[in-house]
Structure 1
Amino acid sequence: MVDVHLDPVVLSGLQEVMESEYPKLLDTFLDDSQKRIEALRQSRGDAKALGRIAHSFKGSSGNLGAVRLAHLCQRLEAESAEAAGDLEALVDQIDLEFALVKPLYESERQRFQM
């Protein structure tokens, strides 16, 4: 299992590229992620829906440096395609991991308050 929750190198690179839009990117990610968490919770029992949500959540998490969250989403995507494994347990792990990284992103966002 991946132990890195948040990759600071990815965030630094995004900050450099996005410049003044970086805080907005963080806000968008947090808002979008919260919606995906809710969608995962509501889709328990629907492997196909879980796979679709996990796929898009994997991409956004990876792009924003949430390494472990992206890894868990990748696992959910793969296991939902095969209807293998304990999908509900993976949803719970994703939920917990987001609960861990959310304050890290919020703290990062706070650095740019005016």
Structure 2
Amino acid sequence: MSDIHLDHSVLSALRDVMEDEFPVLLDTFQADSAERMRQIQQAYAQADCQALRLAAHSFKGSCSNMGAPVLAGLCKQLEDIAHREQLADAPAVILQIEREYLVVRNLLQDERRGFSL
């Protein structure tokens, strides 16, 4: 089931490139993702379409780079919603992003446990 949420070939390539720094990459993604989620929620609460679009776009890129295609796709949907300034459509997608983020976060934490610094 984790194959749906994480592209293990992407993680494997990152592990090969990053070598001993791979755990640092995982930690950085975790911290960055928590900040991106906060930015998304804040932008929506303030009805700031531009900030919401930028936060979703940024999160989409990092999710894609980390091999989280479902999460990246949801961020793309939110980015499009914000671009069209259709904030009424945003809550459902934000909820999906939050749920998928929790799944991805847990899977990456499992990856992280496999490494010791």
- Bin for the TM-score computed over the shorter chain: over 0.9
Give the superposition deviation at 1:79.
1.6
State the 4+ residue runs in structure 1 displaced beyond 4 angstroms: none
RMSD: 1.4
Query: Who is 2:35 aligned against?
Result: 35
Mapped partners of 2:64, 2:51: distance in 1 = 20
- Which of 95, 100, 103 is matched with 1:97 structurally? 100
Identify the structure with the greater helix proportion. 2
TM-score (norm 1): 0.92
Q: Which is worse superposed, 76-85 or 59-68?
A: 76-85
Give the superposition deviation at 1:41.
1.2
Query: Who is 1:76 aligned against?
Result: 78
Give the superposition deviation at 1:46.
1.9
Unpaired runs of 5+ in structure 1? none
Matched-pair identity in %: 46
Deviation digits for residues 19-70 of structure 1, max 9, x if unmatched? 1111100000001001111111111122211100000100000000011000
Query: Who is 1:16 aligned against?
Result: 16
TM-score (norm 2): 0.90
Mapped partners of 1:88, 1:49: distance in 2 = 15
Unpaired runs of 5+ in structure 2? none
